[in-house]
Amino acid sequence: MMDLSKIHFMLIDDNRIDLFLHQKLLSLSKIGTEYSAYNSAEMALAILKENAKESDRLPDIILLDIQMPQMDGFEFLNYFAEIKPTLAKEICIYTLSSTADAKDINRLKTHPLVKRALKKPLAVAILLEEIEQRNRS
């Protein structure tokens, strides 16, 4: 069971305002104690690879923006799938997006690595409900 107050979040979003907002929302809601924020998917992947064998340095949950320059969220998911077997712990991925593109939304809903596709801005109550539901399972 995951202790909500001790969750380590990794936030990945090219928009620094969204990163700040989502981190603040989580903090005010007292969900998690550690927040790693990256404005590039490449940097986040590098950190995951670097810390792959150290479970205490890996996040419990990744909040991933889908629409980013250079490497978008779908590309991140492809690379994450490659490194996933090397990671010292299971990491849950939730996507965050403001897209209205039905094709993207369907891809997210059926992607095996995505626990749930959430809309921006982050609705902490929905995320919390999702985490608690997974804890009960």
Q: What is the CATH number of the domain that holds 111?
A: 3.40.50.2300
Q: In b/e form, how buried is each residue of 43-63, taking b as 16+ CB within 10 angstroms?
A: ebbebbeebbeeeebbbbbbb
Pairing of strands 92-97, 61-65: parallel
Distance CA 2, CA 132 (A): 8
Give mean pLDDT, residues 102-128. Answer: 90
Q: What average pLDDT does the structure give for the chain?
A: 92
Residue 99 predicted with pLDDT over 90: no
Structural domain containing residue 120: 4-136
Counted domains in the chain: 1
pTM of the model: 0.94
